[in-house]
Amino acid sequence: MAVDVLMHKMHERKHDLESFYWLLVWILLRHVDHDQGPSGCSKLFDVEDRELAAAQKEHWLRHSDLRINRNEPLTQLLEKLSFDDQLGAKRRISVEVTYTTLLAAFDEALNQSDWPENDGCIAFSPYSASKSAKDACRASSKKRKTESRAASTSSKRQRTGLHP
């Protein structure tokens, strides 16, 4: 949900685009190898109070530089979604962004030739209604950490010519 909407402001079209951004960030924090650590998902999204959730997202928008490990085109796409506000602070999702400019940024990223091959994703582990989103993020983070170590070890073996 967009920060302004969390703060009970009138819903506008730009909030749809910001919500799309938050969906993208959630997917990336849950399913790809990134630099935010295993608790990145729960730190950002496991906040039940609307005002605290808005403050957490605002902090993210101003201070976070999510980098996707071994995927420069995706990292560059995230950078394209940022801008400097009137105070010179970096912020994600420009108020100037439109559906057309957002789609153009995705098209440009997808047309880059240096997308990694066979990079896969972190498997989704659905959780039951009895588990909280926090538990799901934690479980996904542990799985991602294990899979990342395995991929790193496999990659090192391939580079050095060592095989199990």
Global pTM value:
0.68
Burial tier of 81 (Cβ tally within 10 Å: 0-12, 13-18, 19+)? buried
CA dihedral 10, 14, 20, 26 (to 10 degrees): -70
List per-residue pLDDT tens for the chain, 164 residues long. 877 788 888 888 777 888 888 899 999 999 999 999 888 888 899 888 999 999 998 888 878 788 999 999 999 888 887 654 444 455 555 556 678 888 888 899 999 999 888 877 777 666 554 455 556 555 555 555 555 555 555 555 555 555 45
